[in-house]
Structure 1
Amino acid sequence: MTQPSDVLYYSHNLNPRVAVAVARHLRAPLRYVRADPMGREREAFRPINPNTRVPILVEPSLTLWETDAIAMRLAARFDPDFWPPARREEVMLWVSWSAHHFTSAGGVLYFEHIIVPRYLDRAPDHAATAAAEADFRTFAAILDEALAGRRWLVGDAPTYADFRVASALPFAEAARLPLEPFAHIRRWHAQLEEFDAWREPFAGLD
């Protein structure tokens, strides 16, 4: 069988998980390759991503790194409604807000409670986790209020805004994300988990 010409390099970490979930949700015909560009494969990956990180999307005439750029490209190719042109600014608002606020705070908790015990020879930084938890609660309250009057963040169907803002939520228990007070966020994420690609993006992959 002929292999797809486009390759998505990934790992099981937070941002690559989003990229794989997007690709599989859009049924993009890609070849998925699990990679370790920060370890033994660092020098091999440097020509296609100088950051030596994943995800990386490699097409015959284009190479993209960074999850949001990959999602934009895949949506444009396979389902424009996932990043709807008529509402691209609204999607981008939530993508940016996630990066600078909600997922930024959640990412610290993810790193300190999951990555540090697994890979680093130190205890979690309790000052960092306390500050991140306070920030997470602040921004979760904003998100919870926004979701009180809508099913999805932009329009009547899931878009990349939903996938991006929910980046850290699949790791909520292990990362100790304080979601208990935020019923609308929990309802919204439960809706996302109805999609196989979001709930189990790595099913059948390495």
Structure 2
Amino acid sequence: MITIHGMQDSGNCYKPRLLMALLGKPFHHVEVDSLDGSTRRPAFLALNPIAKVPVLELEDGRTLPESNAILAYLGEGSAFVPADPFERATMLSWMFFEQYSHEPNVAVRHSLLVYPSRKAQATPERLAETLDGGNKALAVMETALTRSNWLVGDAPTLADIALYAYTHVADQGGFDLAAYPGIRAWLSRIEALPGYQPMTWLPGT
């Protein structure tokens, strides 16, 4: 059985857990706290030299880091990956958007405000910068989701899972989701998918 090494309350670590829940596939979870130095211990560095979670560990011992790369591997051949080449590339473009435009603002601001260990980094300038950048990213999503139920095509894809992870807790980072009715309706559609589990869920619970 595969193992996902990750931090329960991390959105990036939630992505592969959510996909596995939606696919109805079993896996082991190993809790690794990225805030207490656990990712810099030799045992973890042997899994991922860049000292970040999540990490996927296959039955044969091979490992794969980076949340969206893990989604691509786990989602291969599933309904969450479009068969049409253009739609599949569009899905990837949203996943790149998540890592380069959304996560550095929405997720980072969430982290600065939620984790006490990040308090020193939560300067007024940093909070203002991430609030502005996050709202710009959310506005891009809002435009797309007022035109369609999903980010790509007529069904949920890996792009929706990737962007759901931190968007659904954006309010904890000070973002007003009331300003984004298209996003709020989209969040509800994802939460209504068969097999959906919240971020607090771990296999066996």
Q: TM-score range by the shorter chain?
A: 0.7 to 0.9
1:40 offset after TM fit, Å? 4.1
Q: Is the 8 A contact 2:27 2:203 kept in 1?
A: no
Q: Is the 8 A contact 1:9 1:55 kept in 2?
A: yes
1:51 offset after TM fit, Å? 1.6
Structure 1 partner of 2:134: 136
Decide whether aligned partners of structure 1 residues 43 and 75 sit closer, same or farther in structure 2, where only a CA change above 3 A counts.
Answer: same
Structure 2 partner of 1:106: 106
Identity fraction in percent? 23
1:173 offset after TM fit, Å? 2.7
**AA at the equivalent of 2:6:** Y
Q: How many residues align?
A: 198
Q: Is the 8 A contact 1:23 1:71 kept in 2?
A: no
Alignment counterpart, residue 15 of structure 2, candidates 8, 18, 26: 18
Greater displacement, 39-48 / 158-167: 39-48
1:170 offset after TM fit, Å? 2.8
1:200 offset after TM fit, Å? 4.3
1:7 offset after TM fit, Å? 1.2
- The C-alpha deviation readout for 1:46-104, integer Å capped at 9, x for no partner, is 1110022221111133311111111111111xx52212242320110100111111232
Q: Distance in 2 between matches of 1:18 and 1:24?
A: 10
- Taking structure 1 as the reference length, the TM-score comes to 0.86
The alignment's C-alpha RMSD in Å is 2.1
Matched, 1:32 2:5: no
**DSSP-derived class of the 1:50 partner:** coil
Matched, 1:7 2:3: yes
1:201 offset after TM fit, Å? 5.5
**AA at the equivalent of 2:7:** S
Structure 1 partner of 2:42: 43
Decide whether aligned partners of structure 1 residues 165 and 27 sit closer, same or farther in structure 2, where only a CA change above 3 A counts.
Answer: same
1:172 offset after TM fit, Å? 2.3
Matched, 1:94 2:90: no
1:137 offset after TM fit, Å? 1.8
Q: Distance in 1 between matches of 2:71 and 2:31?
A: 18
- The C-alpha deviation readout for 1:94-126, integer Å capped at 9, x for no partner, is 0011111123210221121112x2x24637221
Consecutive unaligned residues in structure 1, runs of 5 or more: none
Q: Is the 8 A contact 1:56 1:65 kept in 2?
A: yes
